[in-house]
A = this chain, B = another copy of it.
Amino acid sequence: MSREPILISGGWRESRGADDFIATNPATGKSFGVRFPVSSWEDCDAALAAAEEAFRGMREMPAEAFAAFLTAYAAEIERRTDAFVETAHQETALAKTPRLKDVELPRTTDQLRKAASAAVDPAWRLPVIDTEANLRSCLEPLGPCLVIGPNNFPFAYNGLAGGDFAAAIAGGNPVIGKAHPLHPNTTRLFAEAALAASEQTGMPSGAVQLLYHMAPENGLKMVADPRLAAAAFTGSRRTGLSLMEVADRHGKPIFLEMSSINPVVILPGALRENMEKVVKEFVSSCLLACGQFCTSPGFVILLEGDQTDAYLAEIQRRFVEAPTGALLSFDVRDNAVKGIQAWREAGAELLVGGSALQGPAAAVENTLLRVSGAKYLENADALQQECFGPASLQVIAKDVDEALAIIRTLDGQLTGGVYSATESFRRRGDDGDEDAYRLLAPELAQRVGRLLNDKMPPGVAVSPAQNHGGPFPATGHPHFTAVGFPASLRRFTKLTCYDHVRPERLPATLRDPLPCTE
């Protein structure tokens, strides 16, 4: 069985790594017939050298060149739609339609095109010109970036095609993409499309490179290497923290998305007014793609009372009735079962589900647990750990003050939401939830990247106003977003000031007075 080559410096070449791996279909448990290399340091070193060289070229290129590449790349992906959808479905068990074909692939090409548009509008660089002091500054690219994609979005967060990739390239940085080992065949298709687009648009040969896998110590060594300027990672907290430690030690920007339980507070008025809507939205959001979303509502805070009891009974009923599906891998299944077990050991009570499903697929039961606010507060660290999969913990506070105490224990999160009664319901005589909202929402907002009202967090719109980010440990830095253009480009930049630099030597963005300066 032959082994796939890696993409280094514009060409496919045999990896120098001795080890390899094979991906498995999580719906059947069967392996695919293709071996992929685990790169040695020699491969990593070659990629870094080519990326450094590519950056010297990219530094001299106009933003239009990166936009042309990103646009051509989107078209090359679309030409291969069927292959992408079929391959990703086989590797991830995600539905071909609507998920892969109608949602995630269009989102991915849309992101590449939006990144292209963002690149050519210099506003994203926050240019400031002070003609009197003869000082001019703007954000500029950092240099070669390592982008490590997660398991749960084979397209939209792929290390070689997702939002991090698009933002890094749009900002003028070469990318060394690392495939997720659960979908190497999908990632190879991206590399082929990227190479075609790169050749069409004259990108430097090391601007886009692909490594399928590497030993953890070589990943850390790449982050430490002076030729690497920045990194982006989406995945588990454990791996994220190990990358963060090395990047921080070298003072190197790294964007990390490292898990989130996405707390949702459901206030009693919302249940009185809209029980069916709240139940439906929670159940469908929590079970969407078997709960394998970064923004899955894994932690719900409710207040004791009859309405809450009714809500709990109803969501249990629906969790039992709802179909189950194959998870992304057998590891994901095992970790979900372990996570549920850890919640139970920390004091939560299992309401429904909790076990792996028999059969060839990697699957777990739809799972709900509950814990009282008092018990949660005794063991807040363990009970706020993410359980990645179709599982959620319902935390029942005895009153609003206890709900506040619960919120104050929470680590940084990607999102946090509050459901509350509407104004018109209050006008019809209900007490409403305004006092509780005013007490709880500011404390929740302080701990999250995105605050929601009356909706569930999954579905991260690619909007310039989006924030897919948040305080540690949801991410590594609360100032930056992974989704949304142009803001996401700023993660891979440094601020540079030009002090009395002669006009002809200035970057184009700073040469002529702009219509709008700060």
Contact = CB atoms under 8 A, between A and B. Distances in A.
Contacts of A500: 452-455
Given A450-B496, A451-B501, A467 B137 contact: yes
A497 B463 CA distance: 11
Nearest to A470: B494
Interface string A88-107: 00000000000000000000
A502 interface: yes
Number of copies: 2
Q: Which of A124, A250, A417, A498 has the most CB of B within 10 A?
A: A498
Nearest to A507: B445
Nearest to A256: B251
Nearest to A438: B505
Given A453-B505, A461-B133, A465-B136, A471 B497 contact: no
Contacts of A481: 137, 495, 497
A170 to B, nearest CB: 14
A21 interface: no
Given A135-B465, A251-B476, A518-B123, A499 B130 contact: no
Nearest to A124: B518
Interface string A115-148: 0000000011010111001011101101100000
A143 B446 CA distance: 9
A124 B487 CA distance: 14
Given A251-B472, A473-B251, A505-B437, A449 B495 contact: yes
Contacts of A494: 449, 470-471, 478-479
12 contacts: A124-B518, A128-B487, A142-B478, A250-B472, A251-B477, A452-B501, A464-B517, A465-B497, A466-B497, A467-B495, A467-B496, A516-B516
